């Protein structure tokens, strides 16, 4: 950094947006109590930072200017169970009982390089850089280039900067700028089994796992190092406790987007969606801030036992809006996935003609017939009257499930996606046994002796005249 360069003009801190205090329900109170109890933030959050214990070495622990700090160590992610809660506090108390001296923080000389957005950026010896809250200087900000003493508080591993304070200044002097219901930018600096360890305005804060997002996130460690807006839902200065909620901010943002989006949606519109949840009855999909339900019957043209056969959480799919019920709060939206997909059944129906012989597997037996799968996803019906030439009381007397049969295609109905089959059409009709009273045919093919009426009929046939109705 050029010491003679003109620094940018100071920018005032943007006013933090405030919301009415959010009442804590019983479930959230229990969640916070289970995660924190009476633990102070200083006891709960322990940064893996040698500067916090007064052992910063200029040549080794402080990164060179412009160098990116290494990623947080594994101690931020995985710590022994006894490093949290009462066990750790008890150990800390025992150290105080033994009169263990509290390590003194180091004081360094530094030059004010620039002032920006409520922070004073300082250049230290050995090309190190640090940042000090502007609020600690009171009403008179320091002059750029001024040489001042600063106390080393800790290392911000994510920004690659040392966090500084003025000697004798109260690090918590900006408590009065925080209040319940305020939306602030906070950075995730660690995690524990109860949630995320946060930092807001140089204060340590906590976010319960249930307040990270509106949906369950299996691995909240993905937020480590990220900075995002949060809502202050609890502020207890006597315990140094700040409890944050990202969920409240996300929910409000989604509600705003939902109202804007719903006003533009129409039935029959095709949109892109992301699968957010898979249930036995269907899949929920986000279409840009609004969730809709894809019923299992509208997921695929094939018959499904469970939606997970065709979709999973995180899949990007194209859907069509089937119905919008604006009378509900929130609005109910029915989506369809198969409606934007080519129907393979129609293609297979075009390949089948009436009179063709097909082979398939019996998939279902009913009172009125048997369904036979003649292609993948395509079934035809053999009516009970087309199973056998003989009269049968039920289909299962002749056919069994999973049996392979050969049938003749009687008809194809593409509009109704139906195929009519016949098994008996490929089997010769058995000869009927003679019954009592049957008359044996004569040698000439007639069943009675010749008489005047018979001769008259023969004469008419012999002349080649055409009979209409009756016998003809």
Is the same domain home to 55 and 111?
yes
Cis peptide before 330 (omega within 30 of 0): yes
CB atoms within 10 A of CB 320: 17
How confident is the model at residue 80, as a pLDDT?
41
Same domain, yes or no, for 240 and 358?
A: no
What pLDDT is stored for residue 57 in this prediction? 37
Residue 212 in contact with residue 223, Cβ under 8 Å?
A: yes
pLDDT of residue 246: 93
Residue 52's pLDDT is 39
Backbone angles phi, psi at 328, to 5 degrees: -90, 155
Are residues 195 and 242 part of one domain? yes
Q: What is the pLDDT at residue 19?
A: 55
| Total residues belonging to the chain | 472
Single residue among 318, 340, 362 that ends a domain in this structure = 340
Strands 404-413 and 418-422: antiparallel
Is the pLDDT at 316 greater than 50, yes or no? yes
Q: Report d(CA 15, CA 375) in Å as an integer.
A: 66
Most confident range (mean pLDDT) of 97-111, 128-142, 261-275 is 261-275
The total number of structural domains in the chain stands at 4
Q: Which residues contact 231 (CB under 8 A, 6 or more apart)?
A: 19, 22, 181, 182, 183, 244, 245, 246, 248, 249
Domain of 319, in residue numbers: 269-340
- Is residue 232 situated within a structural domain? yes
80 or 110, greater pLDDT: 110
Q: What pLDDT is attached to residue 365?
A: 94
d(CA 424, CA 263): 59
Residues 66 and 116 in one domain: yes
Least confident of 6-15, 50-59, 128-137, 272-281: 50-59
More reliable by pLDDT, 200 or 433: 200
Q: Which of 250, 283, 303 is the last residue of a domain?
A: 250
Per-residue confidence (pLDDT) for residue 67, from 0 to 100: 40
Residue 96 counted as domain residue: no
Dist. CA 82–CA 78, nearest whole Å: 12
21 within a domain of the structure (yes/no)? no
Average the pLDDT over each of 51-55, 240-244, 350-354, 382-386 and give the range with the smallest value: 51-55
CA nearest neighbour of 132 among 175, 105, 171 = 171
Whether residues 390 and 280 share a domain: the answer is: no
Together in a domain, 288 and 197: no
Question: Does residue 328 lie within any of the structural domains?
Answer: yes
Considering 340, 361, 390, which residue would you say is the last residue of a domain? 340
Please check whether residues 213 and 299 belong to one and the same domain: no
Residue 80 in domain: yes
Average pLDDT estimate for 102-111: 75
Judge whether residue 132 has pLDDT over 60: yes
Is 431 part of any domain? Answer: no
Identify whether residues 33 and 134 lie together within a single domain. Answer: yes
User: What is residue 437's predicted lDDT score, i.e. its pLDDT?
Assistant: 61
Q: Write down the pLDDT at residue 59.
A: 34
Please check the confidence at residue 262 and state whether its pLDDT lies above 90.
no
Is-contact 472 466, C-beta < 8 A? yes
Among 334-348, 355-369, 404-418, 423-437, which is the least confidently predicted range? 423-437
Query: Mean per-residue pLDDT for 88-98?
Result: 41
Residues 220 and 143 in one domain: no
**pTM reported for the whole predicted model:** 0.44
Let me know the angle formed at the C-alpha of 424 by 379 and 354, rounded to the nearest 5 degrees.
Answer: 50
pLDDT of residue 275: 94
**Looking at residues 321-325, what average pLDDT do you find?**
92
- The CATH number of the domain where 312 resides is what? 2.40.50.140
Q: What is the pLDDT of residue 5?
A: 45
- What confidence score (pLDDT) does residue 278 get? 94
Mean pLDDT, range 207-215, rounded to an integer: 89
Q: Are residues 391 and 294 in the same domain?
A: no
In a domain? residue 9: no
Contact call for residues 230 and 207 (beta carbons, < 8 A): yes
Answer yes or no: is 349 within a domain: yes
Residues 80 and 132 in one domain: yes
Q: Both 239 and 279 in a single domain?
A: no
Q: Assess whether pLDDT exceeds 80 at residue 355.
A: yes
């Amino acid at each position: 950094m050029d010491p003679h360069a003109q620094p940018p003009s100071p920018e005032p801190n943007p006013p933090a947006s405030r919301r009415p205090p959010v009442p804590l329900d019983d479930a959230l109170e229990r969640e916070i109590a289970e995660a924190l109890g009476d633990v102070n933030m200083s006891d709960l959050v322990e940064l893996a930072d040698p500067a916090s214990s007064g052992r910063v070495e200029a040549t080794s622990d402080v990164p060179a200017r412009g160098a990116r700090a290494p990623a947080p160590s594994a101690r931020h992610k995985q710590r022994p169970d006894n490093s949290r809660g009462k066990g750790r506090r008890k150990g800390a108390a025992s150290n105080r009982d033994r009169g263990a001296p509290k390590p003194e923080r180091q004081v360094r000389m530094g030059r004010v390089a620039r002032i920006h957005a409520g922070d004073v950026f300082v250049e230290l010896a050995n090309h190190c850089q640090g940042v000090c809250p502007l609020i600690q200087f009171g009403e008179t900000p320091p002059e750029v280039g001024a040489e001042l003493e600063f106390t080393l508080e800790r290392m911000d591993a994510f920004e690659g900067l040392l966090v500084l304070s003025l000697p004798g200044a109260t690090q918590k002097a900006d408590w009065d700028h925080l209040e319940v219901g305020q939306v602030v930018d906070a950075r995730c600096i660690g995690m524990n089994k109860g949630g995320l360890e946060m930092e807001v305005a140089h204060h340590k804060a906590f976010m319960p796992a249930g307040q990270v997002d509106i949906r369950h996130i299996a691995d909240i460690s993905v937020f480590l190092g990220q900075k995002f807006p949060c809502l202050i839902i609890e502020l207890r200065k006597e315990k140094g406790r700040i409890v944050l909620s990202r969920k409240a901010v996300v929910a409000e943002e989604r509600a705003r987007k939902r109202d804007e989006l719903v006003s533009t949606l129409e039935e029959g519109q095709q949109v892109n969606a992301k699968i957010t949840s898979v249930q036995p009855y269907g899949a929920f999909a986000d279409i840009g801030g609004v969730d809709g339900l894809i019923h299992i019957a509208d997921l695929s043209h094939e018959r499904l036992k469970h939606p997970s056969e065709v979709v999973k959480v995180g899949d990007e799919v194209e859907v069509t809006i089937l119905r919008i019920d604006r009378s509900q709060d929130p609005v109910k939206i029915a989506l369809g996935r198969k409606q934007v997909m080519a129907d393979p059944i129609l293609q297979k129906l075009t390949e089948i003609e009436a009179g063709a012989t097909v082979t398939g597997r019996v998939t279902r037996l009913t009172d009125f017939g048997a369904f036979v799968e003649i292609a993948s996803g395509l079934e035809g019906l053999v009516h009970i009257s087309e199973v056998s030439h003989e009269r049968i009381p039920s289909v299962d007397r002749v056919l069994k499930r999973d049996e392979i049969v050969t049938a003749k295609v009687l008809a194809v109905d593409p509009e109704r996606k139906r195929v009519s089959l016949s098994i008996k059409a490929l089997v010769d009709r058995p000869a009927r046994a003679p019954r009592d009273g049957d008359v044996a045919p004569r040698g000439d093919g007639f069943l009675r002796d010749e008489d005047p009426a018979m001769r008259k009929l023969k004469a008419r046939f012999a002349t080649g005249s055409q009979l209409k109705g009756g016998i003809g």
